[in-house]
Amino acid sequence: MAMFEFGRDIRKLFGEARDSDELGWLELIGVDLLSIEARALTTDGGRVSCRHPARTWLRASILWREHARRTGLRDSINKAVVTADDSFKATTNEDEQARAGLSRAMALLTSFDLFGDRDALDEAASSARETAPRRLATLAFSAGVHARIRARQARLRRLQRRRPAGRGGP
């Protein structure tokens, strides 16, 4: 009997975690379940009956980004960018727009981290610059995204200065 109660408690715990803004639970699930969750949120965001499509697509973008980080799949990065864009289109206020733009920037930053795509880094910086957060939590998120972008840009500049003169490269 205790085993069934434990299973029910676990399902209840994950059910509550899925609906919260805390995403630490993602570390506990495998990539297959992560993909299923991201796909479900992507679909749900496009439903007419979805009460908060911007928020739903934003969560989908975060899950696709995490899926890309774990698997290295470019397709997951693309889905993270597209769902962030969908979230932006469905926003109803400036702060939601900022979160969607920052999510897009984070997806592009992940693309740079995984594939060394310098255009993605430039596009991430552009997306982050275009945001105008109002709420304190979004301002903090924005500051973190900008710091990550600047750190990678500084690392690239440092690497370029180290490259000997006359030597080409990518």
Pick the more confident residue, 160 or 165. Answer: 160
* Contact predicate 118/112, CB 8 Å: yes
Q: If you search the block for the tokens 């639970």, which residue do you land on?
A: 25
Spatial distance between the Cα atoms of 99 and 90, rounded to a whole number of angstroms: 12
State both tokens at 131: 């945001």
> What confidence score (pLDDT) does residue 19 get?
56
Question: Sorting pLDDT into bands at 50, 70 and 90, what band is 1?
Answer: very low
Question: Sorting pLDDT into bands at 50, 70 and 90, what band is 10?
Answer: low
Q: What is the pTM of this model?
A: 0.83
- Render pLDDT for 62-77 as a digit per residue (tens, 0 to 9): 999 999 999 999 999 9
Long-range Cβ pairs for the range 44-48 (8 Å, 24+): 45/83, 45/86, 45/87, 45/90, 46/86
